[in-house]
Amino acid sequence: MQSRTHTCGELRKSNAGERVTIVGWMENVREVGSNLAFMILRDFYGTTQVVIEEEKMMAQIKPINKESTLSVTGVVRERSNINTKIPTGEIEIVPEKIEVLGLCRHAELPFEINRSREADESFRLKYRYLDLRNPEVKKNIVLRCNVVSALRNAMTEQGFLEITTPILTASSPEGARDYLVPARKHPGKFYALPQAPQQFKQLLMTAGFDRYFQIAPCFRDEDARGDRSPGEFYQLDMEMAFATKEDVFGVLEEVLPPIFAKYGKYNTASSAPFQRIPYLQAMEEFGTDKPDLRIDLRVTDVTEELAECGFGPFAGNVVKAVPVSDCRLTRKAIDKICADIEVQAGSKAYWFKCDENGVLSGGIAKFVNGDPETLAAVTEKLSLAPNTLVVLGAGKKEAAQKIAGVAVKMLGAACEGHMRKETYEFCWIIDFPMYEIGEESGELEFCHNPFSMPSGGMEVLLAAERGEIDPLTIMADQYDLVCNGVELSSGAVRNHDPEIMVKAFEMVHLGEEEVKAKFPAMYNAFTYGAPPHAGIAPGIDRMVMLLAGEDSIREIIAFPMNKNAQDVMMGAPSEVEQKQLDELHIAVTSEK
């Protein structure tokens, strides 16, 4: 028991009369007169009250700062005033001996431990070891540990082998910036930290392993978001040989719901099979490829109905509407939501409302009311009934969809009766476009994973090459797993045929020699006979964030970086000595 007989969360009334030793941090001391004080000792497991009743012992504890670590030996007795809020609230310890094990040398703490979540984030990250003493913060880390353990057990039961893959590897184009590591023995050359074990897990399938998984660390030099930690993250990486997407779906549909139901903030989760929604349908109905199925609101296209209404922003643009039945929001609340939508979507949202008498008013109602044909067409298309709010977005198709998608999310949460909050709703987004036009390059690029199998294989690529079909209409055998509006992972049936791989890359102007140069191991391995294979990699961090009901991913990581990818506790990134740079043949130049 590590120099103790019991933990601070263990003792009960049945232990009364026993001589015990507990250890922990001195959370608080409340003095009542000159010879009476109540001290709270806290460890990983809970808290226990210690009653000081002797002048000598009072003198001993007076100079001790809070958060010092102590060993208390004494006798357990029943409390006269029971504290029903804590498990140990029926007992207290009368100490015979108090020993300081580790003195806190600071009279003032950066923040109150039990209220650390109210402190400025910069202080929380700098003093993370203090922040983690808060039981409310610590429980998220414990939850993460339990979830990872449950995932490991479930995957093993499904017949998967846990295999670790290299951390130092070669740089390859996988959608984000690499973290590079200079190779001391090879001047001018660099390793890269893996953005994902993508190529290694496909090589394992080629090597004859049937089912692989690992809790894989991934490294990407990208900016932070609420659901993305800068620098590094972890994923449940898995791959299956001789598999289709339905095989992958079957595994996760069996593994995830019990874990979400057991460990989540909500105790219900979707059962198999999860709903399958094609990407283009998701964008039309939800305005996003990450729909929250707890919300019953849907997007309706009203471009044709409002084309001639006379409202300038609608002219020549796509117009999407989100009708909300039985909406009781005030005009002020509606204006606030529209302003928030504009912040998130980057484009303005408009609105009107069908009042309790069935008359359109507010916002842009006068443009809809202006022409009887327009009014009739909109009323029919949106099935307008009294007390229906309609929020609209306009612009190019993608912009209008984005506005509507943000509106669905905000209105679902704000309008009573349109969101079943206390459940986990999973869905698969399928049939993603293989290619897209890059925003910066203006040229054809891979839309998601370049290693995915195009739906239709070689035939569809050749048809696009001959000009018989638009490359943008080619679909990939890719899929995303979404839960409550959060993308947990992307996966795909892999392109295991080297000829199809080369042709797929030729579409984005990368020739066979470039493919061989960028992916030499995978290309060569596939020439030796590769099995069809498929996989996916749900994010551990996002998964635990959902389970804990947290809005920020930093709350479920033991030692997170800040938004600027800095570890302010350890002082990383930091400068290094010139000797280290010389060994690595690196010269640091100053920015002009």
Summarised one tens digit per residue, pLDDT across range 171-186 is 876 667 899 999 999 9
CATH number of 295-414: 3.30.1360.30
Does residue 228 have a pLDDT over 80?
no
Q: What is the pLDDT of residues 395-416, one digit of tens each?
A: 999 999 999 999 999 999 999 9
Q: What is the pLDDT of residues 269-298, one digit of tens each?
A: 999 999 999 999 999 999 999 999 999 999
**pLDDT for the residue 536:** 97
Instruction: Quote the tokens at residue 250.
Output: 């079957």
DSSP code of residue 31: E
**pLDDT for the residue 226:** 64
Mean per-residue pLDDT, 148-152: 98
**pLDDT for the residue 518:** 84
**pLDDT for the residue 174:** 62
Of 74, 2, 84, nearest to 39 (Cα)?
74
CA 73 to chain centroid: 45
Does residue 1 have a pLDDT over 70?
no
Average pLDDT, the chain: 93
Of 440, 552, 497, 473, nearest to 202 (Cα)?
497
Give residue 208's pLDDT band: very low, low, confident or very high (50, 70, 90): very high
List C-alpha distances in Å: 127 to 203, 369, 559: 42, 59, 10
User: Which range is least confidently modeled, 203-207, 439-443, 523-527, 572-576?
Assistant: 439-443
CA 78 to chain centroid: 46
CA 383 to chain centroid: 36
Residue 331 backbone phi and psi in degrees, to 5: -60, -40
Mean per-residue pLDDT, 191-211: 95
**pLDDT for the residue 315:** 92
**pLDDT for the residue 70:** 97
CATH number of 13-102: 2.40.50.140
Q: Write down the residue that tokens 């925003």 correspond to.
A: 439
Yes or no: say if 211 and 158 are a contact pair by the CB < 8 Å rule: yes
Q: What is the pLDDT of residues 497-547, one digit of tens each?
A: 999 999 999 998 888 888 888 888 989 999 999 999 999 999 999 999 999
**pLDDT for the residue 304:** 95
- Cα–Cα distance between 50 and 67 in angstroms, integer? 15
List C-alpha distances in Å: 220 to 175, 229, 339, 469, 479: 9, 9, 33, 35, 21
* Residue 322 Rama label (left phi>0; alpha psi -120 to 50; beta): beta
Of 224, 174, 142, nearest to 544 (Cα)?
142
Is the backbone peptide bond immediately before 386 cis, with ω within 30 degrees of 0? Answer: no
Yes or no: say if 26 and 70 are a contact pair by the CB < 8 Å rule: yes
Q: What percent of the chain has pLDDT over 90?
A: 86
Instruction: Quote the tokens at residue 430.
Output: 């399928």
Mean per-residue pLDDT, 19-23: 97
Mean per-residue pLDDT, 581-588: 91
Domain boundaries, the chain: 13-102, 295-414, 426-527
**pLDDT for the residue 439:** 78
- Cα–Cα distance between 482 and 489 in angstroms, integer? 7
The pairing of strands 179-182 and 190-193 is antiparallel
Across 511-577, the runs of DSSP E, i.e. the strands, are: 533-536
Which residues are paired to 182 by β-bridges? 190
Give residue 222's pLDDT band: very low, low, confident or very high (50, 70, 90): confident
DSSP code of residue 579: H
Q: What is the pTM of this model?
A: 0.91
**What DSSP element (H or E) covers 217?**
strand 211-220
Q: What percent of the chain has pLDDT over 70?
A: 99
- Cα–Cα distance between 507 and 230 in angstroms, integer? 32
List C-alpha distances in Å: 289 to 279, 452, 490: 6, 18, 12
